[in-house]
Every structure is written in C-alpha cells, then in structure tokens.
C-alpha cells in the first residue's frame, strides 16, 4: 500500500477549481483563490509531481499555446478522501462547540 500524499489546503483549493474549470489560466486560478500567480504555479507543479494533476497543451489559435489542467484518477480519489476528512473534522468541531452552548 502506498504512503498517502500530504497536500496543502491551497493545493486542495486548486484541485477544486481545476475540477470545475480545467481551462482556467494560472492568473484566473490566482484571482479565484487569492493566491499569487507564483504560489499557484508552485502548487500546480507540486500536484503534477505527485501525480494528482496533469498538464496538457492545446492551441486556441495558431499563435497562442495554452494549458489545460486535468485531475488524474489518483487526484480525484485523493481530493474526495481529503474533502470527506475535512467535512468530518468540521462536523466534530461543530458538535463540540454546540455541546458548550
């Protein structure tokens, strides 16, 4: 069994955005997340390195090459696992706080 990968909350945010819009540019992703373009680039490279996303080139016109970011099967699975854990943790926190009221 492989060791689970550790990803940051920023990387998880990027994965959510990519799942919704794989054609979003790094600039658009930065705008949506509030991160700098450099941080978005860094996070994307990390996600590529661990195999959670892949980058594909496509040409919109004869003069401009763009990229599309695609979640891999491994990335989709990990995103689902992490999201479920996050929701469970937040529910536990809510229940604990609610017990204090």
Q: What is the mean pLDDT of the chain?
A: 85
The pLDDT, as a whole number, for residue 34 is 94
Rounded to 5°, angle at Cα 54 from 82 and 68: 110
Mean pLDDT of 11-18: 91
pLDDT higher than 70, residue 14: yes
CA distances from residue 83 to 12, 16, 79 in whole angstroms, order as listed: 8, 10, 6
Domains and their CATH numbers in the chain:
9-100 (1.10.10.10)
Binning pLDDT at 50, 70 and 90, where does residue 4 land?
Answer: low
pLDDT higher than 80, residue 1: no
Tell me the per-residue pLDDT of 50-68, one tens digit each, with 9 for 90 and over. 999 998 876 554 544 577 8
Tokens of 69: 């970011």
């Amino acid at each position: 069994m492989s060791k689970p990968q550790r990803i940051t909350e920023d990387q998880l945010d990027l994965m959510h955005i990519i799942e919704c819009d794989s054609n979003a540019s790094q600039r658009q992703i930065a705008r949506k997340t509030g991160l700098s373009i450099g941080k978005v680039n860094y996070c994307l490279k990390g996600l590529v390195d661990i195999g959670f996303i892949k980058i594909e080139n496509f040409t919109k016109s004869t003069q401009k090459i763009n990229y599309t970011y695609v979640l891999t099967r491994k990335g989709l699975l990990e995103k689902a696992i992490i999201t479920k854990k996050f929701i469970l943790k937040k529910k536990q926190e809510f229940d604990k706080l609610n017990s204090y009221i």
